[in-house]
Structure 1
Amino acid sequence: MVIMTNSAKLNRAMGLHRSSTSNKQKVQPITKAVKNDENSVNLSLASITSNLHDISTPNRPISSDLAYNSWVVEHPSALGSFDQMMKAAKGKRMVVFLDYDGTLSPIVDDPDRAFMSDEMRAAVREVAKYFPTAVISGRSRDKVKGFVQLSNVYYAGSHGMDIMVPPRPLKPCDGKNHTTAMDKNASDVLFQPAKRFLPAIQEIRTLLEEITRKIEGARVEDNRFCLSVHFRKVQDEDYDILEAKVKSVLENYPEFHLTFGKKVLEVRPSIEWNKGHALEYLLDTLGFSNSSDVLPLYIGDDRTDEDAFKVIRSRGLGFPIIVSSTPKDTKACYSLQDPSEVLTFLLRIARWRKASSSSRSLAQIWGPGNSPRSVN
């Protein structure tokens, strides 16, 4: 069994509280035909890594913040722990889950301009060649897919309330290779547990837009199955007013609740579904739920990612990684400081798997006990 980190660390790590789920509901997936757009990325793994100093021996700057240094002891760098992590992953089937904002792209003032770099896109594409890879975002599924622009990645939008995957695994994964091509003759599965809330969501959106027009810097983003009220550009003295007005709107919609993210208020249906459930659903749909050798790896930076971290911790197998340059309560076991470190980490995963695949191929060619040097 893979141990994510030592038991003392697991006992000391703290998680964030999440909203009450006493009245939350569950529904079943629906099936719908969806087109799969093809997008190409010209950057190669070699061209990216050649522009980095040395991704095998990262040197994270030593912070002068004692609190952060102490926090890193509890949540060590995933780069510094890479060799140990991959040793634990050997022989396992790794499945990669990624948040978008603050993980694959930087946090920006204008959420419509949260673009990921070409280098990051190429790295994610390379990772997805070797591992089943999914992006789970609070954005709408269509929006995050438009940002990522990759066809060999699975997408879950609205904090996992809008998931698109193939109806069944195309091939059983054996841990040696992974095929992500879609079955063109089959309909993709759309799992949308909050679909019945769509009319009410649009009503709330209209009311929120009226409110935000009166508060400078506030704006509403329609993420289809949830609504985001961004206040990054709102003056500090106006924030309390904004929050109070948003809460007043929800007083008339008891089936919805308010959550808090990075400079954003999010209105979500009160159903028992979050990124953790999305992770479990994807593992199940992709054929990994009943396997004891599956190792999920999740990288995220916000409170909503804590539900996914919690699921991985409950499995006792996997790598929950938080992206943060400041100490915070988290269920994650490892950390990365920012998207640039995420990029380096993803490149190392791809390179590690590529090297492992090459080693296996050579072993099959030369046979056990033989090597190129022993052949005349």
Structure 2
Amino acid sequence: MYKEPPLATPENLAAWMAAASRLLLMLDYDGTLVPIAPTPDLARPDPELLAILQKLSLSPGRVVAVISGRKLAELQKLLPLTGLHLAGSHGAEIQETGGKTYRLFENRKLEENISSLERVARECVANSRGFLVENKGISLALHYRQADPELARQVLDSFIKRAAPIMGKNRLELLPGKKVLEIRPRGVSKGKAVQYLCRKYAGALPVYIGDDRTDEDAFMALREGCGILVSSQPRPSAATARLPSPREVYKMLLLLAL
């Protein structure tokens, strides 16, 4: 059931997590670990954040995972840390702490369908400014953060209409986000990655922190522990607590690493 989660403080959350004998800390990337940027390539972690994540991921009794809509290969470059779990493409691709990687979802025809949708998206965008089309292999993202709002509405309407037949035949779904429209396979979600990690680390206190629509799947997958929404404004969510911004997330992680 969705309701507005109460505002929490980094101090209280860090103290609560520090008291757990075993902690499974799962975090979204964009809008959670780092602020949303005009384009995805500009959203990069600073050295201080990397140092904190490294310390936490190597701390006894703590497991740290980053679960993102970004491709796994991209996360590996952004977060080249030892002992960190990475889950890319909304949890479809996973890297274990030892470096072993595998997919929770396989569909040989999927990449062909995503490529077809990429062509449709690029035709709809044409030469319009402010759009970015991202082919992630098993999903597609159409970013419009820098586009004129009225033009963005027209482009999105055209794309959704043209994409519908491909999606309907291939069990794909639309997922609106923060100035981005994504298409992914049905059955793939961050919630699946959360369930996998909770099974793998049964007995640890599970905490998931995220900011966007895709993170609601992760919040709902938690049967215990805590989901923390990152949002400057109150809004209905399956999370149980709220932090205002990535800055407060950083402060919480810093306190937890002390």
Which of 146, 166, 170 pairs up with 1:233? 146
Distance 1:282 1:221 in 2: 27
Q: How far apart are the structure 2 equivalents of 1:140 and 1:337?
A: 26
Q: Deviations over 1:168-201 (max 9, x none)?
A: xxxxxxxxxxxx5x28xxxx24024143211111
Structure 1's 127 and 258: CA in aligned 2 closer, same or farther, altered over 3 A? same
Q: CA separation of 1:189/1:145 partners in 2, compared to 1, >3 Å: closer, same or farther?
A: closer
Q: Which residue of 2 aligns with 1:361?
A: none
Q: Deviations 1:123-181 (Å, cap 9, x if unpaired)?
A: 1111111211111100111112211222321111111111222xxxxxxxxxxxxxx5x
Report the 3-state secondary structure (helix = DSSP H, G, I; strand = E; otherwise coil) of the residue aligned with 2:145.
coil
Instruction: Map residues 1-376 of structure 1 onto 2, 5 A cutoff.
Output: 14=2, 74-82=5-13, 85-86=16-17, 89-91=19-21, 93-130=22-59, 131-165=62-96, 180=97, 182=98, 188-196=100-108, 197-253=110-166, 254=168, 255=170, 256-270=172-186, 272-284=187-199, 287-288=200-201, 291=202, 293-312=203-222, 315=223, 317-351=224-258
Whether the 8 Å contact between 1:123 and 1:346 is mirrored in structure 2 is yes
Cα shift at 1:252: 2.3
Regions of 4+ moved over 6 Å: none
* Contact 2:58/2:82 (<8 A) preserved: no
Question: What runs of 5+ residues in structure 2 fail to find an aligned partner?
Answer: none
SS class of match (1:81): helix
CA deviations over 1:259-304 (Å, ceiling 9, x no partner): 100000001122x2210111111233xx32xx3x321111111110
More strand by share: 2
In structure 2, give the amino acid aligned to 1:97.
M
Q: Which amino acid aligns with 2:237?
A: T
Q: Summarize deviations over 1:224-265 as a string: whole Å, max 9, x none.
A: 211110010111111221111221232221122211000000
What percentage of residue pairs aligned between the two structures are identical? 33
1:303 and 1:334 map into 2 onto residues whose CA distance is: 16
Contact 2:208-2:227 within 8 A present in 1 as well: yes
TM-score relative to the length of structure 1:
0.63
Cα-to-partner distance string for 1:25-63 (whole Å, 9 max, x where unaligned)? xxxxxxxxxxxxxxxxxxxxxxxxxxxxxxxxxxxxxxx
CA shift at 1:86, angstroms?
A: 3.6
Q: Alignment RMSD, CA only?
A: 1.9
Which protein has the larger Cα radius of gyration, Structure 1 or Structure 2?
Answer: 1
Give the aligned residue type for 1:90: A
Question: How far apart, in 1, do the equivalents of 2:6 and 2:134 lie?
Answer: 33
Q: How far is 1:78 from its partner? A: 4.0
Higher relative contact order (CA 8 A, sep 6+): 2
Rounded to whole Å, the distance in 1 between the matches of 2:162 and 2:80 is 35
Distance in 1 of aligned mates of 2:251 and 2:14: 14
| Distance (Å, rounded) in 1 between the aligned partners of 2:24 and 2:65 | 8
Q: Is contact 1:145–1:155 with CA below 8 Å preserved after alignment?
A: yes
Q: Distance in 2 between matches of 1:113 and 1:189?
A: 26
Q: 1:79 to 1:154 in 2, by over 3 A?
A: same
Q: What one-letter code is carried by the residue in structure 1 that aligns with 2:227?
A: P
- CA distance in 1 between partners of 2:250 and 2:150 (Å): 37
Residue deviations 1:71-106, cap 9 Å, x none?
Answer: 5xx42314252366247x433x21111100011111
In the alignment, the residues of structure 2 paired with residue 251 and residue 273 of structure 1 have an alpha-carbon distance, to the nearest angstrom, of 18
Superposition deviation, residue 213 in structure 1 = 2.3
Code of the aligned partner of 2:207: L
Residues 336-364 of structure 1 show CA distances to partners (whole Å, capped at 9, x for unaligned) of 1111111111111122xxxxxxxxxxxxx
- Length, aligned pairs only: 252
- AA paired with 1:265? L
Q: Counterpart of 1:198 in structure 2: which amino acid?
A: E
TM-score (norm 2): 0.90
CA distance in 2, matches of 1:341, 1:162: 28
Contact 1:227 1:266 survives alignment (8 Å):
yes
Aligned equivalents of 2:71, 2:237: Cα separation in 1: 25
